[in-house]
Every structure is written in C-alpha cells, then in structure tokens.
Structure 1
Amino acid sequence: MNIFRVSADILHLLSILVLLLKIHATKSCAGISLKTQELYLAVFVTRYLDLFWNFHSLYNSVFKVVYIATSSMIIWYMKRHRGVKQTYDKDHDTFRYLFLIVPCAVLALIVNGRFSLFEILWTFSIYLEAVAILPQLVLLQRTKNVDNLTGNYVFLLGLYRAFYILNWIYRYATEPHYSAWIVWLSGLVQTGLYLDFFYYYLQAWKQSKKLQLPS
C-alpha cells in the first residue's frame, strides 16, 4: 500500500464524515442528492460482497464496513429522520438514475475481466461509481447556491478520485505486470465529471466567496 492509496481512502472517508456532519449538525439534507447516495450504496454492496469470504487485511475490511454503514446511515437520515427528511429537495433531485444503472449493468455483462457473478458485480460497481455523482452535480446545478459543507463534500470526493489516479500511476511504475484498464478508464471518466465543479469551487475559495454554479 502506498501514500497515494492511503490518502485517497482518507479523503473518501473525510467526504462522508463532512456529509454526515452537515446532516447531523444542521438537521438538513438540503442540496444533497438522495439518488447519488443510493447509487453509492449500490456501488459498495456489489463491490464488497467478498467481505464475507475474502480477507485481505484489517484495514481493507474496516473501510468496506464503514463505507456500507455510513452510506446506509445517510440514506436513513434522508428518508426516515423526522427533522431531516422534510428538508430533502425532491423537486430538484429528479435525475432518472435507471439511465445510469441499466447501461452500467449491460456494459458489465459485455466488458469484464472474467464472466462470473462476482466479477460482473464488481465490474458493475466500477462503472456505476464512475457516474454516481451525476445526480448530485445536476442537483447543485439546478439549485445554483451551494453551502460550504456540501461544496466541501463534493470537492473531497473529487480529490479522492484524483489521488486514486496517482495511486494507479505509482503502481504502474513500481509493480511489474500491473494492469487494470477497466478501473483506469472508469476512474478517468469519474474524475473528468468533477473538473467543472473544481474550477468554480477553487475560484470561490480564492475570492473568499460563496460557491455559485453558473446557469
């Protein structure tokens, strides 16, 4: 394990903690896409099925459990918590995520490393994670004004993907025969989706202004 992988995992965890802090402290999920959170839960459940039989390390297993548990907690807050669920902006969070799930499932059946149930589900999770942020980005685009915690959440998620690219570059340079082109291409697509948000986030940060996305 290298510093880029560890940094990426920490950034991912921080993004989730920032989101939980926003929801718990403000009792509001305004600006947060429930559809993106449900997609992320689907990503983690299908990717980490091997949690029950494939032990790599305590580090690996703990992160798998944390990702599933925290995603479930966020969804519970947004759908069940009496105070929080009333702040969910369902009128703007209307992205039809079946348009993401179905193509990713079909692609996983066609393009995968090995045609087995676990491998197909794992590949599906890679494809789905690449586009899972789209409902969130669309929601922010529609609402325009983005509060600081929501902006930080999305920014940290984007940084997590950027550091994973550095991790892949490092592994390619140091590990003989390392190749994971499905993961690489999906990761590049996912990181590319954040570029526009990064630009406006950094502009707002440099000018000490509230983040506002253009029409």
Structure 2
Amino acid sequence: MDDDMLGNKPGRGTWARTFRDWRTVILVGSFVAVLVFFLFHLVSDGDFSFLMTLSNLLRVSALALLLVKAFGDHSGVTEISLKSMQCYCAVSTLRLSSILFYEGYLPFDSSGDWFYQSMEVFSLILAGALVFTMTMSNKRHGYNPRNDVFGKDFSIGPLTLPSNLGALWLIVPSIVVAMLFHPTLNNNFVTDAAWSAALYLEAVAILPQDRMFRRGSRLHELTSLSVFMIGMSGLFSLVFWLFSFSELNASYSSHFGHSYPGYVVVGCQFLNLVIMFDFIRRYVQAATAGRPPILPS
C-alpha cells in the first residue's frame, strides 16, 4: 500500500487523522442523511418527485452552513461571494412568487403540501441573512469585494455595470430566457416565467462563488462542504428533470417557447453540472485520499 503524503504508512493513526480532519463533514452529513430519511417517511409519499424536495433541502442546508461559518469562524464571510448570495435571494423570491399561489410546479407527493414551500422560505431568509451580514460585517472578518470580481469586465457594447451589481449579469438574462421559454403548468405568464427564471438562475448562481474561489488560496471545510452540497442539490435536480422534462413541454401549443422549455430546463441542469464538476471532483479526491477538506483553489 502506498505511503501517505507525509511519507507515513497508512494505519490506525492515518484513519484517526482522517476522521479528525473530516469530523465536521461526517457529523453534518450524518445529520442530513438522518433528516432526509425521516422526511422521506414523514412528509413524503415516496413519489419520485421527492427528489425536488431533496434538492431544495440540500441547498437550504448549504446556506445554513455558510451562515454558521459567517458567525462562528474567525474568517467570517471572507470566502463567500455576495453576488452568489444575491442570486440565491433572487432564486427564492422568483420561485416563491410562483409556488405560493399556484400548484403547477410543486412536488406531487405530500411534501408539496407545505414542506417544499417552507424550505424555499427558509432559503430566502438564510440567503438574505448572509447578504445582510456580508454588507454590514467588519473589515477584519468581512466581505472583500476585491475578490468578488464576477462581472467586473463584462460589457455589451457601451453597456457596463458597476462591479457591485455583477449579479445582474446572471439575473437579467435568466429572466429574459424564462420569458421566452417557460412551461404553462400554472397557465399564468408571470408565475410560469418566474418559476422558469428561478430554475435557470439557480443553475448559474454559483458562478460568482466559483470565480472567487479561483482567486483565493484555500477553502475552509464548511465552505467546501456547502459548495459540495449545492453541487449535489443540482445533481438530484438533474436526475429528476431527466425523467420528467417532457411534462414541461406543451405539445398542443404552437408557441415555440411553450413547446420546448423542458429541453431548456435539462440543458440548464447539465450546465450546472459542468460548472460544478471540477469542484466536486477535487472534493471527492480529497475525501478518498484522506486529505483535509480544505481545498486549494
């Protein structure tokens, strides 16, 4: 068997060190797994659409971990992208404007009665709390806009935006695409487009965070775990829509944007997987090699 990175033979000490390094990840992962097990049996009928709820739950858990890190770690919010959190605020706002008033995009099982909506409300609260914390944080442990550079060099002809409005480069196109390509399950243009915009924006909301990671040196274990959970959230969403996207296509409609939104949804899910793939790969490699979950960028 190969030596580890320090030249030591793998053994009991190595396993103990690995457990110590990954203790937080193991505890959080175990808690989430137990929570999912109970939710599946208590608030779900076992329908395939529970994957939607599971995806939502993982994203909420990831945002909760980031908020815990913001208040409980010495590095505060220095590794977190304000622009990504603004995008997640927009995602929850757009989705809630649809699912609180119509039932067209809710899970088919009993988790769609109240739990799925509640998770989205919590997501908005958590993302909003992170945005507020990052905006009001002190300089030592606070948000550093110089590292959050997404959108800084973007322009469309003469149109440019201040760096602090970089999230609009993701939010506005998502809304425009949603206005052109959206299902009609609510039979209401505004809420159908809002739901679609939330899904499209969620697929790319991690881009500012990814750009920020690549400018840094190392990632705290809670930050790494949070991003990994967001990646898993996207993976479960992809699996669900791969088998369900045809339900979004209105075959009876002559409107091009109503006939093919399912394909756009699946395309966005694959785009999210492409964005997250490199991070997920390195995270899994660190886990299998027994290295601490503090990844180099």
TM-score range, shorter chain: 0.7 to 0.9
CA gap 1:8/1:51 in 2 versus in 1, 3 angstroms: closer
- RMSD (Å) for aligned C-alpha atoms: 2.4
SS of corresponding position for 2:69? helix
Name the structure 2 match of 1:89: 144
Q: Residue 60 of structure 1 aligns to which amino acid in structure 2? A: Y
Name the structure 1 match of 2:102: 54
Gaps of 5+ in 2: 1-46, 104-111, 152-166, 249-261
Identity %: 24
Q: Residue 276 of structure 2 aligns to which amino acid in structure 1? A: Y
Q: 1:24-63 counterparts in 2 under 5 A?
A: 24-26=71-73, 28-54=76-102, 56-63=112-119
Is 1:105 aligned with 2:152?
Answer: no
Contact 1:161 1:190 in 2 (8 A): yes
Q: Distance in 1 between matches of 2:66 and 2:124?
A: 15
Report deviation, 1:10.
Answer: 2.8
Q: Could you list the per-position Cα deviations for residues 192-213 of structure 1 after superposition, in whole angstroms to 9, with x for gaps in the alignment?
A: 2100111111222233143112
Is 1:188 aligned with 2:244?
Answer: no
Report deviation, 1:74.
Answer: 1.2
Say which structure, 1 or 2, has more relative contact order (CA 8 Å, 6+ apart).
1
Report deviation, 1:182.
Answer: 3.0
SS of corresponding position for 1:18? helix
Name the structure 2 match of 1:178: 247
Q: How many residues align?
A: 208
Further displaced range: 100-109 or 65-74: 100-109
Is 1:146 aligned with 2:230?
Answer: no
Gaps of 5+ in 1: none
Name the structure 2 match of 1:200: 282
Name the structure 1 match of 2:70: 23
Further displaced range: 143-152 or 7-16: 7-16
CA gap 1:92/1:108 in 2 versus in 1, 3 angstroms: same
Q: Which TM-score applies when normalising by structure 2? A: 0.63
Q: Which TM-score applies when normalising by structure 1? A: 0.85
CA gap 1:152/1:100 in 2 versus in 1, 3 angstroms: same
Q: Distance in 2 between matches of 1:43 and 1:169?
A: 21
